[in-house]
């Protein structure tokens, strides 16, 4: 018995040492790149830096503010006043080194995501134990095993630490680093059942980039599942609205007016800056006639927010975390100013669904498209802007393929979830009422 305990302690120590080494290696790569000559090249790339997340703009805004000039009078700053105060506390009041700040928040995101995966796998284990009696007799091979519960959190942390998209996002000093940290904190608080902290984290994310406001639906569904009371669950969106209103009120007080609303949320929704990025907006509205602009802006923004929200929420209401993943993936595709940091964060969550990989069909295709488009993007940008041997169509073709890969990914994961649910309920045989069944994602 004592020998068994000793062996388990040795395994835990080995695992802990492996995880620590993984974190140190991931941070070491970021540290080396931050202090190398490649840092400025990465920071200036349009795949990393956008008008919404550029640290250079934040630095200039803080400088203007220190001289008594309103940074929202021009078209420079697109960060909310409350987040500018947050950056001011970190850099000017506490006098922390900028590179250290980005490294610390990126490391914090990796740590939080590790515990997010642990919480989610624990919930899956509880759900599996509660529903075992309802599953088909020959569905044992479809159940989660002990290795899935143990390995998934480690894979999530490593997927974040060694993902080139998140590495470049940190090295390029994109403020999406802070956004990802609070999104990860929101996921952890939601899975922990802490409504107040999850509402607070979500409100901060909404102040930063607006689009996370739609995540209140998964939070409501999760709260409803915890409390088993719609009355108590409906207090969650009410609390969120109150918190968001309080943050907006504070921002109005900090900026001495509502001018920031146009520069931050008006900028996100109306897309006045058509600088190329990895999204879909810039090319369409460069080619668009002005009298069609309002119609298509509305169509694109509806597509990025509420169009898929209701059907997905109805279909996947039993798994709010999967619903949250799907929404985050769609936001990273359809938001007006996306960057690689948004995509990297979503990809880091994939190992949470390690139990669905056996049912997915598009993994190889998606991986190849990601690899090719990631390599071709900077090349075609250089050919277009610097060599004058290509044009906007070449670069947009790459970004369009990149978006298609993300759509293939999320639909494949959602369909895999449905296939696994079918297998658990009906066993190996794909038959309903004695006839061969065909699974269709609707």
Q: Is there a contact between 294 and 114 (Cβ–Cβ < 8 Å)?
A: no
Rounded to an integer, what distance in angstroms lies between the CA atom of residue 423 and that of residue 420?
A: 5
Rounded to an integer, what distance in angstroms lies between the CA atom of residue 384 and that of residue 379?
A: 9
DSSP annotation of 436 reads: E
Q: Is there a contact between 82 and 250 (Cβ–Cβ < 8 Å)?
A: yes
Q: Is there a contact between 88 and 82 (Cβ–Cβ < 8 Å)?
A: no
Q: Is there a contact between 356 and 125 (Cβ–Cβ < 8 Å)?
A: no
Q: Where are the domains of the chain?
A: 2-436
CA 165, 170, 172, 178 torsion-angle sign: positive
Band the pLDDT of 103: cuts 50, 70, 90: very high
Place of tokens 């624990």: 122
Band the pLDDT of 429: cuts 50, 70, 90: low
Q: Is there a contact between 98 and 91 (Cβ–Cβ < 8 Å)?
A: yes
pTM above 0.85, yes or no: yes
Long-range contacts from 123-131, C-beta under 8 angstroms, 24+ separation:
123/191, 123/321, 124/149, 124/355, 125/149, 131/424
| Nearest by Cα to 305 from 336, 278, 274, 280 | 336
Task: Examine the pLDDT at 31 and tell me if it is beyond 90.
Answer: yes
Task: Examine the pLDDT at 6 and tell me if it is beyond 60.
Answer: no
Q: Per-residue pLDDT tens for 121-143?
A: 999 988 888 888 787 777 777 78
Instruction: Give the pLDDT of residue 331.
Output: 95
| Nearest by Cα to 417 from 345, 371, 347, 355 | 355
Q: How far is CA 125 from the centre of its chain?
A: 24
Rounded to an integer, what distance in angstroms lies between the CA atom of residue 118 and that of residue 123?
A: 9
């Amino acid at each position: 018995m004592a020998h068994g305990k000793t062996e388990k302690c040795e395994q835990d120590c080995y695992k802990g040492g492996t995880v620590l080494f993984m974190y140190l290696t991931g941070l070491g790569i970021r540290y080396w790149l931050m202090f190398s000559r490649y840092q400025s090249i990465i920071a200036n790339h349009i795949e990393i830096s956008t008008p919404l997340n550029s640290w250079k703009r934040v630095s200039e805004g803080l400088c203007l503010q220190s001289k008594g000039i309103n940074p929202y009078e021009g078209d420079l700053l697109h960060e909310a006043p409350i987040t500018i105060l947050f950056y001011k506390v970190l850099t000017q009041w506490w006098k922390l080194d900028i590179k250290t700040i980005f490294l610390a928040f990126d490391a914090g995101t990796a740590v939080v995501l590790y515990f997010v995966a642990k919480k989610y796998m624990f919930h899956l284990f509880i759900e599996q134990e509660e529903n075992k009696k309802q599953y088909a007799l020959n569905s044992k091979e479809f159940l989660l095993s002990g290795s899935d519960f143990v390995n998934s959190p480690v894979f999530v942390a490593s997927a974040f630490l060694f993902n080139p998209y998140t590495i470049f996002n940190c090295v390029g000093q994109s403020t999406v680093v802070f956004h990802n940290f609070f999104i990860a904190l929101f996921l952890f608080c939601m899975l922990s059942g802490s409504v107040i902290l999850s509402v607070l984290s979500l409100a901060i994310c909404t102040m930063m980039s607006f689009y996370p406001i739609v995540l209140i639906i998964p939070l409501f569904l999760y709260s409803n599942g915890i409390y088993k009371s719609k009355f108590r669950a409906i207090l969650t969106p009410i609390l969120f609205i109150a918190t968001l209103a309080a943050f907006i009120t504070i921002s109005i007080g900090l900026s001495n007016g509502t001018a920031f609303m146009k520069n931050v949320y008006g900028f996100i929704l109306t897309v006045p800056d058509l600088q190329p990025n990895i999204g879909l907006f810039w090319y369409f509205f460069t080619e668009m006639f002005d009298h069609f602009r309002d119609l298509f802006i509305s169509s694109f923004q509806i597509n990025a927010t509420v169009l898929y929200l209701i059907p997905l929420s109805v279909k996947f209401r039993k798994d709010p975390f999967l619903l949250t993943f799907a929404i985050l993936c769609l936001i990273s595709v359809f938001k007006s100013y996306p960057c690689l940091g948004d995509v990297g964060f979503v990809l880091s969550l994939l190992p949470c669904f390690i139990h669905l990989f056996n049912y997915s069909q598009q993994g190889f295709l998606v991986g190849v498209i990601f690899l090719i488009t990631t390599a071709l993007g900077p090349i075609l940008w250089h050919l277009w802007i610097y060599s004058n041997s290509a044009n906007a169509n070449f670069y947009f073709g790459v970004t369009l393929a990149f978006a298609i890969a993300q759509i293939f990914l999320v639909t494949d994961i959602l369909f895999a979830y449905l296939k696994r649910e079918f297998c658990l309920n009906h066993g190996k045989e794909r038959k309903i009422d004695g006839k061969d069944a065909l699974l269709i994602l609707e």
